[in-house]
Amino acid sequence: MNMEKKIQHSLNDLIEIARDGSEFYGEAAEKVKDPELASLFNQMAGHKREIVNGLSVDVAAAGGEPAEKGTMVGSMHQLYGKTRAALGDTNYAYVAELEESEDRLLEAFRDTINDSGTPAPARAAAEKYMPRVVQCHDIMRNRKAALKAVK
């Protein structure tokens, strides 16, 4: 696989996972009754869209086509989150599933950055968004812990 294809592959994996998060946050924002939580979810969806858009530019710059869909795993998490929310505390269920989505994205970014086979341009693109990925992850981890403490 040539360098451009490796860059495209690495970044498209991140795009797909970030897109999963954006779609799930958007859906969750419509389902929760708490306006503050809905606002947070919309904000987080926006952060994921920024990552998708930025990485898409990087894929195009490497001569590739940016990924247009999310992943099957992301779809399964959304389905599980909806089911869990329907059966219990909607706010906590969505926060818990979205926090897992953040875990998945953070792990993917770390893997891309730490993999010695990742081309330098793909690593640089991932590093550029890593602070935002960590920030979003921490927000949802803390929100989950706070909601769990109240349960």
Q: 112 and 123 in contact (C-beta within 8 Å)?
A: yes
- Amino acid letter, residue 119: P
Give the model's pLDDT for residue 83: 56
CATH 1.20.1260.10 for domain 3-150, yes or no, is yes
**pLDDT the model gives residue 36:** 95
Picking from 17-21, 48-52, 73-77, 107-111, which range would have the lowest pLDDT averaged per residue?
A: 73-77
Whether residue 52 is predicted with pLDDT greater than 60 in this model: the reply is: yes
- Over residues 71-108, the pLDDT tens digits come to 555 555 555 455 555 545 678 888 988 999 999 999 99
**What number of other Cβ atoms are within 10 A of residue 142's Cβ?**
11
pLDDT score, position 68: 86
> What integer pLDDT is reported at residue 77 of this predicted model?
54
The residue with greater pLDDT, 4 or 115, is: 115
pTM above threshold 0.95: no
